[in-house]
Chains A and B, each alone.
Chain A
């Protein structure tokens, strides 16, 4: 799986230039987990949201496996790329956890028994099988995050975009999430401030500063550069 950003410029309402000319190639064969680091407002969420076509492209291009992200390709792109939002509340909207996890596979038009199988698998892999009948509004923050992840995993995407995945998790939850993600056979792009999590899971990282790439390379190496981290609001 390859996700390619070419001279990408993204604007938010009010003309705020959240991403300002980024070019980069994410390639699962080179590295299957990439951290996107940056201070508040650096443009991480905007960048991730643009990949499944949620933020209009001002100029430049995004290619997913060679396919341009544009209106006519959106359903193919979205079946390949899953996204976990910064706020899990926005992501869960069905009655029960089980039903919410089934939402994606149903939209993939899978037969009912395959949907049921995928739901079971996804819930089991997130260790929330016991929450299947629970109301999505009555979960803890960490449980919501896992339910949201299960909803995306059930679609078996080739790439998963995670926006601040550790923000609601306790230390053990973070460790377990890192282990689970590492075991997933998919390209993972992870926007986070959690340097320890990034260091543990992602061999490669991209540091954003005001919508531009400030540095990119091996995570271990970059995280040692205190000057750089200070300049980018990460230390």
Chain B
């Protein structure tokens, strides 16, 4: 899988599992990421400074952990349009002036827009960093340890696989379309219905085929999932220390 679609689903494309981050056991990492997510979303809607600093954290960690921050940023940025479309309404409706910095004021809409973008970067970036440095089995093992219901974990696993397949099929369909329509740059709206319908059918068909192949190798949905390793004292120590620093940042920045 190549191109922009693959950027969005790093979980099942090449994993940088050998860097510092990749070597930490999944459980402490998953806990750290969950803690980070809670802290990141807890900022007030005008807390632009704290959110901005939090948005930088995943990329800083990526740099330390041997994952390319630029690549992570590109992948993360793919989530931005969806969120920003939703946040655009704030720009129009929230015009109240809010204290910005050193007595300067800005319309609340702009600040909350900025905060939302920063929160998206922070949360998506962190989750993608986790996915990039941890195997799917590792993540599911850690979730089992955290007593997340197996059915939910299974849903997440299958959904991820389904998303990847859909992305692959979308690329194949688009390739097929553009190759036989060389003049075309953007697919005209009249063809969207047909292509979306086809995409749905094909991805369902392929998902079924993949599921059958999984069954052949003795996968079945009702089976309890295996718990992953707990992680060493040092790994927990490192993650707790980092979480402490994040809590401190959160406390002082609001």
Contact = CB atoms under 8 A, between A and B. Distances in A.
Contacts of B226: 106
Contact of A151 (B11, B15, B217): B217
B217 A137 contact: no
A93 B216 contact: no
Interface string B98-123: 00000000000000000000000000
Contact of A93 (B17, B135, B210): B210
Contacts of B210: 90-91, 93
A82 B226 CA distance: 23
Contacts of A85: 209, 213
A138 B13 CA distance: 8
A95 B209 contact: no
A87 B209 contact: yes
A235 to B, nearest CB: 31
B203 to A, nearest CB: 12
Nearest to B205: A90
B4 interface: no
A95 B11 contact: yes
A130 to B, nearest CB: 15
A82 B135 contact: no
Interface in A57-101: 75, 78-79, 82-83, 85, 87, 89-91, 93-96, 99
B13 A93 contact: no
A135 interface: yes
Contacts of B18: 133
Given A90-B206, A137-B1, A107 B213 contact: no
Contacts of B202: none
A210 B161 CA distance: 35
A138 B15 CA distance: 12
A107 B212 contact: no
A94 B17 CA distance: 14
Given A85-B213, A90-B206, A99-B137, A104 B218 contact: yes
Interface string B1-26: 10000100001111101100000000
B213 A79 contact: no
B136 interface: yes
B178 interface: no
A96 B216 CA distance: 19
Contacts of A25: none
B198 interface: no
The 4 closest A-B pairs by CB, nearest first: A107-B218, A104-B217, A90-B209, A135-B14
28 contacts: A52-B215, A52-B216, A54-B212, A78-B216, A78-B218, A82-B217, A83-B213, A85-B209, A89-B206, A93-B12, A93-B161, A94-B135, A94-B136, A95-B11, A95-B12, A95-B135, A95-B136, A99-B136, A104-B218, A107-B218, A133-B17, A135-B13, A137-B12, A137-B168, A138-B1, A138-B13, A155-B217, A155-B218
